[in-house]
Amino acid sequence: MAKELADKAKEAFVDDDFDVAVDLYSKAIDLDPNCAEFFADRAQAYIKLESFTEAVADANKAIELDPSLTKAYLRKGTACMKLEEYRTAKTALEKGASMARSEFKFKKLIDECDFQITEEEKDLVQPVPSTLPSSSTAPPVSELDLTPAPAAPAKAKYRHEFYQKPEEVVVTVFAKGIPKQNVNIDFGEQILSVVIDVPGEEAYYLQPRLFGKIIPDKCKYEVLSTKIEIRLAKADIITWASLEHGKGPAVLPKPNISSEVSQRPAYPSSKKVKDWDKLEAEVKKQEKDEKLEGDAALNKFFREIYQNADEDTRRAMSKSFVSIYLYILFGFSFFHGD
């Protein structure tokens, strides 16, 4: 029965009825979920529909089921090139070419990948202002409008969310109690493919084309009892406006100049200059207004007289003060020769 459905799907494909072909291949897969051929052929139909993320997911599944199926690598390479993930595409194509009887198709695509990778590297060495337009330029509308069709019902099945740090994006899929062997996650240069396929249940797909590029070798995931946590290593230190590509502009991190200035140590030259004349005047005013009693009041009285007197008066007062001091110290006999 599955074989008959696959044969009808091939006929629909030849007649350019790609939607019908996808539907028939899907029914065949439901009956025989371990047939790598069905996934590889459905991937080809998805490519014709420009549903490239689904094509990559099917190609990955086909490779998982049959690592020697060369056309699965060809499908993955083709779809990744459409997504402008040339390094991922090249890796898949080189793997397929190493096993293929004829390398012509693979070689042509590999050469195209090499050319595009070289162009990307040229862009990277350009000054920052010239790279901003290319990094913020959205892909053709045809690619953006055709986001994964089967993902809509799946998203209702498991909720997902993301948060980000300067160097990574963390995606959480809230799928509880899913065995690790039923989770298939694949990373591309700008694609994330999450497939949860539990026997007897409808498969879950999360296959967005990501907002920014990632480093696949540094990405990782962990299947926990209550969720699946996926860590995507950013290729560029930018703020993602969303998880999916084309949903808002990228934000470059602003240089933290203000914080650096505010945290700079305060040197003496940066301190507020004190008005010492004003301080001295305030101290004098406080001393003048201070109410003293006894000897303190008398000392203050004579001190004010001395400060406001002319030079002759000060000399006379000093002589008098000395005489009084000696009189007190040595007594009356000192002055009268007794």
CA distances from 325 to 25, 188, 192, 318, 330 (A): 121, 100, 99, 10, 9
> pLDDT digit string (tens) for 156-212?
488 899 999 999 999 999 999 999 999 989 888 888 889 898 888 888 888 888 888
Residue 182 near residue 196 (C-beta atoms within 8 A): yes
In this predicted structure, the answer to whether residue 86 has a pLDDT above a threshold of 90 is: no
Residue 46 near residue 52 (C-beta atoms within 8 A): yes
Residue 236 near residue 135 (C-beta atoms within 8 A): yes
Residue 215 near residue 85 (C-beta atoms within 8 A): no
293 phi/psi in degrees, rounded to 5: -135, 160
DSSP state of 140: P
Q: In this predicted structure, what is the pLDDT of residue 277?
A: 76
Residue of 271 and 68 predicted with greater confidence: 68
Q: In this predicted structure, what is the pLDDT of residue 137?
A: 47
CA R_g for the chain: 42
Strand-pair category, 168-173 with 228-233:
antiparallel
Beta partners for residue 232, in sequence order: 169
The residue among 188, 224, 240, 179 whose CA lies nearest residue 209 is 188
Burial class of residue 207 in the structure, from the number of CB atoms within 10 Å of its CB (0-12 exposed, 13-18 middle, 19+ buried): buried
Residue 186 near residue 56 (C-beta atoms within 8 A): yes
Q: In this predicted structure, what is the pLDDT of residue 36?
A: 93
In this predicted structure, the answer to whether residue 313 has a pLDDT above a threshold of 50 is: yes
Q: In this predicted structure, what is the pLDDT of residue 295?
A: 63
Packing angle, helices 311-330 and 294-308, rounded to 10? 150
> pLDDT digit string (tens) for 22-57?
999 999 999 999 999 999 999 999 999 998 889 999
